[in-house]
Every structure is written in C-alpha cells, then in structure tokens.
Structure 1
C-alpha cells in the first residue's frame, strides 16, 4: 500500500471521527426546542455537550487541512464546486459557537430564545449540507479537463443528494437523542428516548434508501455487507436505547455512522470525483495526490501529533463522563 492510498484512508478516518463525534453535537442542537421543555432542561442539554463540542470540531479542521496538503486537486475541485454550501456551513458553525458562549450572558428569556434559534439553525445546516455534498461527490459533478467544477447550486439539488441530506440530518438527530439519553437524567433522558424512537421511523428508511442508491451508483463488492451493518446497527441502537441500555445504544448508532462513512469513502475509491461532463475528466486518487516528499513529511507529523490529540480528547470525555441533571444547573443570573 503506497502513501497515496494510506492518506486517502487517513482522511476517511478523520471524516468518520468528525461525523461520529460532531454528529451527536448537531443532534443535540437540533433537539433543543423539542426535548428542552424549559430553560433548565435546555441548559442540561447544552451542558451535556459543553465540554466536548469545540474539541469535536478539531476533526473537521484536521480533515480539511489534510485534504489540502495530501490531495490539493481534490480540495480545489470541492471548493470550486461547493463554494456556497461550504460558506453556509462555515457561517452556521460560527453562529452556533457564538450562541453557546453568549446564550447565558444576559438574564432575559427573549435573549436566550434568540440564541436557541441560532443553535438550532447552526446545527441543522451542517447536518443537511454534509450529506448533500458527499452525495454529490459519489454521484459526480460537471467537471472540465482542469478539474474545475462548473456546477451551480441547482445542479447540486438532485434527488439523490437531497436524500443524502435527509439521511445525515435524521441519523445525526437520532445519534444526538441517544447521546442525551446516555449523558443526562430526569425529564431530558425520558424525552430523549421517546424522540429517538420517533426519529428512527424516518432515519432508518432514509439510510436504507440512501445506501441502496449509493451501492447502485458505485457498486463495489465489499461495501454491501458494510451497508447492511450500518442499517442493523441503527435499528439496534434505537432498540437498546428504548430498553434503557443507552451506552450500548450509543455505541450502535456510532457504528452505524462509521459503517455509512466507510460505504461513502469506499465508493469514492479510486475515483474521487466522477466527471459527468466526460468520464476522462474524472479526478482519481492518484491524479489528485501531492508529491511523495510531501506525503512523507505529513506522515511523520501525523505519527507524532495524532496520538496526542486522540489521547487528550479521550481524557476529556473520561473527565466529563457523568450524567448531567437539573440538580447540576445553577439558577440563571
């Protein structure tokens, strides 16, 4: 296995970690007005992800940085084709981060409601857009010989891409509900379980349809069983959460996201972006990669830094592992 393939796998791992960890963050944010009956419940929900949400975004920063360094042509093609959607994601993440910090700065219900809306919007937009963008990468884009994508926003909104957006949003919603059931206690935990069951009625069929469509477009022999694992894990996670086994339920929904991401990246190898203009213009892993020296330097940096980052994040999750309840919430001031 050469360095080009290794770095493709490394980027796939980074995106997988981002979707698993930031996925429940997005789910909690989208559920804020649904599970949070009052301001105290909403503060319980925010405190459940408060110590980890910003650390989870490091995976996105690392994935994008690694793509820029290891596959600059891939990075350039995605940026040229997805400029507006990626701008929407960036603005949503900024708004969401500001909302987390400013929500409690003023003791005014209207002030908090406005920031709650910002949290919901800032969580929903990325959850939808990531599914939309990765579906387009699998489906293919109008790309010329210079690997410049000539696609307008309307070209990205075809049925398969919209199904991808629905799938990521609902799966993240379910993942977030299971996380709340695991990380909180009291009314939030009870409502999160109920929401997880209702969300599964949409998330499971959406995942089945999306993975089936993906396998039909980019068939590879080994991705079919992985797709089956994704669907079964999502069903199992819902059932385990309903029976009060939230830890196993969260592991199962995380496995479903991992398996789904594996199917997506497996479908994109070795053709990263198929060209709908002319198949000869398609961007491959080998054609998009940086030189060997660049990949070698990146490999040594990753060997040193990645274990430190993973170790620190694992430690932070261990420190803040206890459930959050209404009793832990101090009066608003």
Structure 2
C-alpha cells in the first residue's frame, strides 16, 4: 500500500499571498483527516517574518481534531521551533536542507554543513523523546541557481542525515524540473545504499511531470509519496517553483496503475472547499480520474497520448 503524506496545510499554504485564517486551516486539516491520508503536515514552527502564512501554527495544532491512525507533523528549522512544536503536541517533526549550496544560502542563510549543524540538536532531542523525524532534501534533482544536481551529493547527504538519526528522508524536486529519467538516475544511485522504506518523494508539477515522476519512484519500491490537495504550494525561495503535485491526481494515477491507495478523492475535493474563500489564485480544475492516461502523458483529453491509442482508462 502506498502512503500519502498530505503537505497542503504547510507546503501548500506557505506560498499563498492571502493570509488564510486559522479556523479555515483547522477545518481543512480536519476534513483531510477523514480522507485516508497517512500523515498531514499541519504547519511549520518558523519565523512569522519569513513565512507569515504559518504564524498561527500553535493555534492550529491546538484546535484540530486528531484522528487515530493519522500522524500530525510539522516542519521545524531549529531548536526554538522544536520547543514550540513539542509544546503544541506535534507527533512528528521535519527538518530540512538542500543539495544545493546556493539554495541553502538563499533559503536559510547557511551552507549545507551549517544546516546540518543547525538541526542536529533538534534530531538529538527528538530521539530522546521518541519522536520520529523526517528530513527534507530540497533541490535533489535541479536547482534554480545551480542547475542540474548530480546524484552523488544527494546520496552523501542522505547518508549523513540517516547517520544523524533521521528516520525518513523525503527527496524533493523543489523547482519541478525533474524527469522520470532524472528520478531513475538518482534512485539507481541511492537504493544500493539507502533502504527504499526509509525514503519518500516530494514532487512539484511545474513542467507537468509530477505524476510521471511519482509513478517512476513507486516502480522502484518507494512507498511514501508527498502531495498537496488541489496542487497548492510552491517554494517562496525558489524562483519559478509552482505548486506541488496534487493529491487527487496522485491517488488517481496510482490507483489506475494498480497500486493500493486508501484515500478518498471526493473527500480531498471537499476539504479544499474550506480554503476557497481565501485563495487569491485558485488551483486549476483537475481532470477526472476517468481521463487518466499513461505515465508519460499523465492526463489526456482525446484518444491519443504519447503516440498510442487509448480507450478510456489506459
């Protein structure tokens, strides 16, 4: 079974211009809790000056209705953020770095090594409390500043983070430029050294290849996929990065490919409606699951895709 980590409440909203009130975020999370997703990244305990959209993380965590079997996680940048997360009863924390030195400097004003030094005490304290830790590696394929990222540094960084005590590494295509070939190249380098069950994938859909990249990852045995309902999101520190791959499209594509994904697409659509009054840029209308084609084309409107004939669902 493929597990879905719903990142809409955090990664989806952090790049929105309009400030969504805490009550709407709580309703959104509560509705997502009923859809079957395995984990919801509810918010981030970061500087409100840097990410004003997430300034109400504590209030949101205090008000959500927690459903048994769903993990409620948060991103934390440092020990202060960790302390605030613990006070809010966060069940899993995430720390973050990038494979690109330039992106790290633009995003968190430090080097790759500096980022590891910054969250090392967070991981240590989480271990003492028995709290699971996820680590994000941003720009794992391409960087807006440095271009193509070679697999070697990503593999090394993944190993360093796991040696530190991080339980799960989410390999992230921050600017959405990766192709399935890029995904295969990185996983071919990673998997001989890192177990597939310690990895997740996190794709943005800037160039329309998010679903193809998810399917390629799953074909390699990756069982955890990050996605954002409605395709919300983007990175405020990565020029050109648009929304995350949408949870609805991920669930539809994986199901059509024969994978077991116990997530209710209609429930996801209902959850998104709690944000509709506040989003300045509405997410694009999603095609129906019935229009799903192959992993190359993702979705098609007619009977042709990638040069092949299709009848209904491929």
Q: TM-score range by the shorter chain?
A: under 0.3
Larger relative contact order (CA 8 Å, sep ≥ 6) = 1
From the CA coordinates, give the structure whose radius of gyration is larger.
1
TM-score (norm 1): 0.26
**Which protein is richer in helix relative to its size?**
1
TM-score (norm 2): 0.27
**Which protein is richer in strand relative to its size?**
2
